[in-house]
């Protein structure tokens, strides 16, 4: 809308005609251009078919629809909780401020409530600013800048990508530090870790396919990257734990006493009871094998038979001692393996709690600032 003093009339002289409509090509039109767009606008009608409305006081109204392609700088650092701002610059290409003064008809500064519904974006009210551009040896040009903000709706990304990825990583951490059977075997942990990494790689592919390209790593990409790093570190520590467990159980290495006292103090009391039982058993064995061979008279047996009987008893006692020693050694070996099993069970539990705590804290710190975006 603008005012042309050369297009005024008195309605009383023209049968009360207050306004007329004429082709736009018949009147003067301001050379308004969109400076921020480098593409030709797409008009829904030919410019020759445009019509202007002129009132009796010289006010000219021109309105026509067209599609404008405007280049805007995207900030994807907070993707998918980002808010983008697009600036549309409008000015006269030839006329200076003294000849054409651009003004906005309305100002919308309330950017708290969206003014339009969209499946992906909340379109916030725009803000209009006026700038005067000084051009040397030419003059001052008036420029209007319409700043339009759009806010992305993150619900899809939260419930389809972020939450499932968090749950998958949490379950994988639980599986990496849990025994797969009652014997405490851990051979399947590597398979679980590799499967989780493959799943996270697929999720990362989905994220990168939908994520805008930029020089900064967005929140979504950083989250998936941290999940992958956490799984890799957890799997590496789990493999190291498996290696140490295999080394300690296949080598003659006992659990240090200070470690026993920290992790399972009841082992000492249990060992004391076992020692008492072993002493009672040894006493019974000694009483049963230390036989008092009576004196045989010549009428009952010869001295040679008594000698053979004593020799057999000594041989039987030696054989029993070897068997008893082998059983004790085997029992000590089983107890040693059991002690190391308890040590690594405690280690797995501690690592599980540590990694889960780090996982939960990192998740809260990363996404708590954007909790209002879900409302």
The domain segmentation of the chain, as residue ranges, is 1-70, 72-153, 155-272+319-375
Decide if 141 contacts 135 (C-beta within 8 A). Answer: yes
The whole-number average pLDDT for the span 2-8 is 89
The whole-number average pLDDT for the span 154-176 is 89
pTM of the model: 0.70
Decide if 62 contacts 30 (C-beta within 8 A). Answer: no
Kindly give, in sequence order, each residue whose CB lies less than 8 Å from that of residue 57, ignoring residues fewer than 6 positions away: 3, 8
Decide if 175 contacts 153 (C-beta within 8 A). Answer: no
The whole-number average pLDDT for the span 91-104 is 86
The whole-number average pLDDT for the span 266-283 is 49
Decide if 84 contacts 76 (C-beta within 8 A). Answer: no
Give the pLDDT confidence score for residue 243 in this predicted structure: 83
Read off the pLDDT of residues 308-346 as tens digits, 9 standing for 90 and up.
777 787 787 778 777 777 777 777 777 777 777 788 888
* Residues pairing with 116 in the sheet: 123
Decide if 165 contacts 211 (C-beta within 8 A). Answer: no
Give the pLDDT confidence score for residue 110 in this predicted structure: 52
Which range, of 186-195, 249-258, 261-270, 354-363, averages the lowest pLDDT? 261-270
Give the pLDDT confidence score for residue 304 in this predicted structure: 67
- At the top level of CATH, which class does the domain 155-272+319-375 belong to? mainly alpha
Q: Express as a percent the part of the chain with pLDDT over 90.
A: 21
Compute the distance between CA of residue 95 and CA of residue 141 in angstroms, rounded to an integer: 7
Assess whether pLDDT exceeds 90 at residue 98: no
Which range, of 10-19, 291-300, 308-317, 361-370, averages the lowest pLDDT? 291-300
Q: CA angle at residue 108 from 103 to 114, to 5 degrees? A: 145
Compute the distance between CA of residue 4 and CA of residue 27 in angstroms, rounded to an integer: 9
Q: Of 345 and 351, which is predicted with more confidence?
A: 351
Cα-based torsion angle of the residue sequence 24, 26, 32, 34 in order, rounded to the nearest 10 degrees = 40
Give the pLDDT confidence score for residue 271 in this predicted structure: 46
39-48's contacts with Cβ under 8 Å and 24+ in sequence apart are 39/69, 41/66, 41/67, 41/68, 41/69, 42/66, 42/67, 42/68, 42/69, 48/23
Taking phi first (over 0 means left), then psi (-120 to 50 degrees means alpha), and beta for anything else, what does residue 345 get? alpha
Kindly give, in sequence order, each residue whose CB lies less than 8 Å from that of residue 194, ignoring residues fewer than 6 positions away: 235
Give the pLDDT confidence score for residue 323 in this predicted structure: 78
Max avg pLDDT among 151-155, 187-191, 309-313: 151-155
| CATH architecture under which domain 72-153 falls | Distorted Sandwich (2.70)
Give the pLDDT confidence score for residue 278 in this predicted structure: 54
The whole-number average pLDDT for the span 116-144 is 86
The whole-number average pLDDT for the span 21-32 is 90
Q: Express as a percent the part of the chain with pLDDT over 70.
A: 82
């Amino acid at each position: 809308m603008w005012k042309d003093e050369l297009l005024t009339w008195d309605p009383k002289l023209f049968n009360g005609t207050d306004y007329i409509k004429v082709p736009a090509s018949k009147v003067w039109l301001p050379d308004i251009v969109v400076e921020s767009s480098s593409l030709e606008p797409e008009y829904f009608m030919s410019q020759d078919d445009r019509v202007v409305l002129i009132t009796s006081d010289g006010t000219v109204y021109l309105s026509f629809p067209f599609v404008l392609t405007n280049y805007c700088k995207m900030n994807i650092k907070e993707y998918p909780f980002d808010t983008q701002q697009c600036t549309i610059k409008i000015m006269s290409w030839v006329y200076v401020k003294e000849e054409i003064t651009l003004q906005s008809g309305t100002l919308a500064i309330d950017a708290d409530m969206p003014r339009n519904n969209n499946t992906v974006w909340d379109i916030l009210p725009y803000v209009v600013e006026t700038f005067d551009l000084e051009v040397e040896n030419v003059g001052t040009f008036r420029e209007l800048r319409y700043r339009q903000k759009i806010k992305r709706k993150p619900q899809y990304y939260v419930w389809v990508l972020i939450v499932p990825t968090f749950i998958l990583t949490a379950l994988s951490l639980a599986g990496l530090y849990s025994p797969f059977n009652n014997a405490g075997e851990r051979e399947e942990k590597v398979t679980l870790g590799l499967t989780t990494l493959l799943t996270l790689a697929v999720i990362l592919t989905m994220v990168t396919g939908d994520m805008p390209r930029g020089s900064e790593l967005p929140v979504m990409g950083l989250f998936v990257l941290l999940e992958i790093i956490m799984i890799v570190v957890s799997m590496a520590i789990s493999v190291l734990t498996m290696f140490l467990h295999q080394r300690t159980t296949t080598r003659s290495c006992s659990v240090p006493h200070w470690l026993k006292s920290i992790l399972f103090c009841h082992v000492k009391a249990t060992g004391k009871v076992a020692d008492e039982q072993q002493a009672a058993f040894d006493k019974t064995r000694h009483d049963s094998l230390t036989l008092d061979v009576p004196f045989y008279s010549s009428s009952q047996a010869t001295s040679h038979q008594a000698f053979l009987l004593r020799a057999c008893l000594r041989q039987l006692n030696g054989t029993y001692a070897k068997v008893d020693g082998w059983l004790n050694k085997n029992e000590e070996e089983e107890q040693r393996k059991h002690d190391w099993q308890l040590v690594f069970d405690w280690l797995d539990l501690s690592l599980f709690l540590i990694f889960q705590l780090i996982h939960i804290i990192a998740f809260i710190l990363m996404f708590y600032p954007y909790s209002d975006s879900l409302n």
